[in-house]
A and B are shown apart, each in its own frame.
Chain A
């Protein structure tokens, strides 16, 4: 536990640089990334990330030094050219945007790798470390880097703060933004510049290859937890910062571990957790809801069958064996047993030995399902002109779905009919 204390006391300036640098990078990328994500431009982010590599090499070749100013300028230029390329191809050829992005991405990245190889083979001593841009060098951040990162992060924050409502509107409804006279083109250019800027800075920590992950993943994870943009941005930046911090810590306790890839692993884990466990939008919750729906359908089908068995005799509280139910409607004996036990727990059926009978509440619920089924069949035949022999399957689903309000509306619309298209009585309580 000593390493934990050492790390979080931030006494060592190197640790300070790495931590602050990583957190600044990941958090500000996540904020810009939220809008990239909402504008459905995630792929574009990836294209930019790959397209800056030749720019960095070019900056080095022209200046002969690794001075960040030249490298960033070069990166900015090729990042932009790649975007113009994507837009040109989409607009003037029949190639769709995703294909154009793939094309531009691989061409630029290929050229970048080629240039990098040439530089490395040239024997120029100053070049060592240039390949950091491929996978990042977060663990080697120094004070001067922090100054650059900090400035850029503040710039990004100010821009996002000022243009928050414009970015949000454009992501939701671009035509409307144009229609009310917002300078859509300018706003889009600004957002793209912010993405390029975030990428150019971010690749120094995680590298070209993993950059798209720290741009988009925090936003994708945050989206699972909230329906508010402001909360989403906050969450994304917290997730980003957390992954930056964890990445720095992991490579501190295990120096062989590179920071950048660990940042990506941590943020991916956060995304996985969100994907599965987030309330409402998470997968597990959806599965649970689906299971509940399946249960409801099964339960109601059994209640309906019990009701229908007694429709002739009008004595709804007769005791019936499981076999009698199965003869009327197909269930496996095991499933039926489970359903009946559940219904008993809920108070819809009662058990006497091997026999089951409806309670008053069970009868009402079964009756409602039968009523909706027949109303819906009638609605389909009278209002949608569907043949009476084609309406049963549809009604079998609708009967479990309709809300009381819609049911009332249906009754009113059909004027409380007495019989369905098959001349079966429609029961009202």
Chain B
């Protein structure tokens, strides 16, 4: 049903991870492994997760993203979720998915700027 898969490429010292638009559960589950092995192999500083084509972010998907980000943090990296669609953000907020402790960015270019900057951007 779903042949699209997750792509992981390295740009500067950041891993750019692109999610397909409507991934099935095993594709979502493979996110963790793919990202963590790539982190180890490439010694990247952080991960940008491009979800700009994702149309549905349910609790299973969100949990996988959160867990992956926590693991990346344990390996010393940052995770920035980029390009969430407005309708997805409204829905996620309404369900109570906050993606706590995850950085977000309007699009991949901005995420790349933020990730390669010296310090985290959040002034709070």
Do A and B originate from a single complex? no
Chain B residues packing against A (C-beta within 8 Å): none
Chain A interface (Cβ < 8 Å from any Cβ of B): none
